Chain A
Amino acid sequence: MARYVLNRLAQAVMLLVIVSAIGFAILHLAPGGPLSQYAASAQMTQEDLDRVTKQLGLDRPLPIQYLDWFGRMLKGDWGKSYRDGDAVLSVISSHLGATLELMVSATIIAVLLGCWIGILGALRRYSLFDSLATVGAMIALSIPTFWFGLVTIYVFSVTLGWLPAGNRETIGDGSFLDLAHHLIAPAMVLALVETAMWGRFMRSSMLEVINQDYIRTARAKGMPEWRILTVHALRNALLPMITVAGLQFPTLLGGALVAETVFTWPGMGRLFLDSIGYRDYPVVMGILMFSAIMVLIGSLIADILYAVVDPRIRVG
């Protein structure tokens, strides 16, 4: 087990190095490079530009610059925002809470609903419910999240007036009920795609398990059907879902960005888009790297957890 974990950790570290190299390359190979913002300003003469280039060490060879940048990232120095001079990491962390709130609530909805639909679909394979769920999941995966958000706003905010059309709280209120009221629509919109994915994976995982020999054996022993399903089938069918949670993570983060934009939700995704609008490259690159590292750590945790619960992985 320790060997598996160490092996997986080493892989993750190697991936982190490649991921950071890609991030660095994007920033430096882009037209204008990291100083394009200053170069565009009429107040900067070529002399000033040269001086800043030297001060920031941008005249050094790229590999040296990369090592320097990587070292500073490890120490938590992710640079400063062009907009207000705040440290990039603190800007990100001040927006992270809202994003996590959205992601966690959407995941809870998606896991409960998706697993239920998937299990039921597998148990009643090719029934009307299963066919509708399969078609519904495919459509849910094809709807652009932002458009579904617009439709939700139109129906529940504009027409029915049940839910607020955006923001995280009513200014001056901010009670738990008010927060929850604001959370419903964006969480549901974000949960749509997730539910579809969980449902599809759960269905195929359950189908695979209920056709196994040990299930037939349990039936042959005369075990009650509910016990076979809950104790034998479900427990094993739920195991691969840990991997799904890891695989889902990038989609979830991307979906959060879109949902935050539509619902003016003050999270990391909105900060990312705002920063792009302001050409605030340190924050843009910071969030890009931050999201990639979150995905990396997410899949690492998922893999290790899976190895903990399923001994077949560690040995193989």
Chain B
Amino acid sequence: MATAALSAAQPAPGQAAWQRFCRHRLALAGAVIIMVLVLGSVIGPYLLPFDDTYIDIMKRFAPPFTGAHILGTDELGRDVLARLMMGARVSLLIGIVAMVIAMAVGIVVGAFAGFYGGVVGAVLMRLVDAVLCFPTIFLLLALAALTEPGLVTTTVLIAATAWMWVARVVEAQVRSLREREFAVAALAFGSSNLRIMFRELVPNAVAPIMVAATLNVAKAILLESYLSYLGYGIQPPAASLGNMLNNAQIYLTSAPWLAIAPGVAITLAVTSFNFLGDGLRDALDPRMNIP
């Protein structure tokens, strides 16, 4: 009876995690903002009377709230809100796809390094250390300089400079999990190494992997904005949150609104994913107290 009372008082682990997550109001706000941004960028462009690449020289540099141009127009008379929505679509897409690629690479490298340890682990993890020696922006720009810019290149390059953190997280998890009873049991049961790695160990590390994935999206969106702002990411006429700020500096005196909306959108998106990741970390494992 005592055990029944105890278990009734304590909510199920999943429920407890959900409660902790909800207490993290900023994470919740982040999740809501992300949903708004996703909806806005997916549906938004269809609700506007303007096309994001439609050039209207007669109406260039219209300040916000000029007629139907809620956020004004840019140096070619294109509607800023339409470009912002399409830009957010591109930036979010890059952020999420780059995250998926970085996670896949990072999980595979981390799982192999953590499971086999020894020489294999040392070689793989030294490779991770070596890539981390390059400051991300320098590496990203050098790679971008050698390739043809575009949507696919930008996404792949961002993933190529972001997988190392994931590999570190997964390596540490797998290295400690492989000593646990369930892993040893699977081995005794005759499961193949690959099966143990990806069906037993990696799924048990899902909490830190999810946190890393969320923070990775934030990082990827930020990197896309840097790359496109500097002119080596998404190329005009296509819009991205970063390349909308490309010319903003030149028109800072005459048309400051061109700089405000995309910058706020990037900050909002990145902050939201960062808060969401923080909240997930607190919710899924209160012991993971890394700053």
Contact surface of A with B, Cβ cutoff 8 Å: 14-15, 18-19, 22, 26, 30-31, 135, 138-139, 141-147, 150-151, 153-154, 158, 200-201, 203-204, 250-251, 253-254, 257-258, 261-262, 272-273, 276, 279, 281, 284-285, 287-288, 291-293, 295-296
A272 to B142, CA, bound (A): 9
A250 and B146 contacting across the interface, CB-CB below 8 Å: no
Query: Chain A contact residues: over half helix, strand or loop, or mixed?
Result: helix
What are some 15 contacts across the A-B interface (CB < 8 A)? A15-B133, A30-B146, A30-B147, A135-B26, A138-B26, A138-B271, A146-B229, A147-B262, A201-B291, A250-B135, A281-B146, A292-B133, A292-B134, A295-B133, A296-B133
- In this complex, how many residues of chain B approach chain A with their Cβ under 8 Å: the count is 47
B136 pairs with A142, CB closer than 8 A: no
User: Taking the complex as formed, is B127 at the interface, i.e. its CB lies under 8 A from any CB of chain A?
Assistant: yes
If the complex has contacts A138-B278, A147-B259, A276-B141, are A288 and B134 also in contact, measured as CB distance less than 8 A? yes
- The distance in angstroms between the C-alpha atoms of A31 and B271, with both chains bound, is 37
Asked if B263 and A151 sit within 8 Å, CB to CB, the answer is: yes
Nearest CB to that of B229 among chain A residues?
A: A146
Residues of B within 8 A of A (CB): 26, 126-127, 129-139, 141-147, 218, 222, 225-226, 229-230, 232, 242, 245, 248-249, 252-253, 256, 259, 262-263, 266-267, 270-271, 274-275, 278, 289, 291
How far, in angstroms, from A258 to B138 measured CA to CA in the complex?
10
Give chain A residues whose Cβ lies under 8 Å from the Cβ of B263: 143-144, 147, 150-151
A285 to B131: give the CA distance in the assembly, Å: 15
Chief secondary structure at chain B's binding surface? helix
Q: Which of B131, B135, B245, B271 contacts A147 (CB 8 A)?
A: B245
Asked if A141 meets B135 with Cβ closer than 8 Å, knowing A146-B245, A153-B252, the reply is: no
B291→A254 contact, CB < 8 A? no
The docked-state distance in angstroms from the alpha carbon of A150 to that of B129 is 34
Q: CB < 8 Å: which of A153, A200, A254 contacts B136?
A: A254
**Which of B138, B263, B270, B291 lies at the interface centre, i.e. has the most chain A CB atoms within 10 A of its CB?**
B138
What CA separation (Å) do A296 and B131 show in the bound complex? 11
CB distance from A153 to the nearest CB of B (A): 6
Q: What 6 A-B pairs have minimum CB-CB distances, sorted nearest first?
A: A30-B146, A18-B130, A142-B270, A147-B263, A254-B137, A142-B271
B residues less than 8 Å from A276 (CB atoms): 141-142, 144-145, 232
Q: Please determine whether A146 and B226 come into contact, CB atoms closer than 8 angstroms.
A: yes
Docked Cα-Cα span, A146 to B262, in Å, equals: 12
Assembled-state Cα–Cα distance A281/B142 (Å): 9
Closest A residue, CB atoms, query B218:
A142
Across-interface contacts of B242 in A (CB, < 8 A) = 144
- Contacts A30-B146, A139-B267 given; indicate if A154 touches B256 (C-beta within 8 A): yes
Complex CA distance for A14 and B125, rounded to whole angstroms:
12
Given A26-B142, A30-B147, A138-B274, verify A291-B135 contact (CB < 8 Å).
yes
Q: Given A138-B278, A139-B267: A287 and B291 within 8 A (CB)?
A: no
Q: Which of A19, A142, A293 contacts B274 (CB under 8 A)?
A: A142
- Nearest residue (CB) in A for B139 is A288
Q: Which residue in chain A gives the minimum CB-CB distance to B123?
A: A18
Q: What residues of A have a CB within 8 angstroms of the CB of B245 in the complex?
A: 146-147, 150
CA A14 – CA B271 in complex, angstroms? Answer: 37
A262 partner residues in chain B, CB cutoff 8 A: 249
Q: Which residue of B lies closest to A249 (CB)?
A: B135
Name the B residues within 8 Å of A151 (CB-CB): 259, 263
For A273, list chain B residues within 8 Å (CB): 141, 230
> Closest chain B residue to A204 by CB distance?
B291
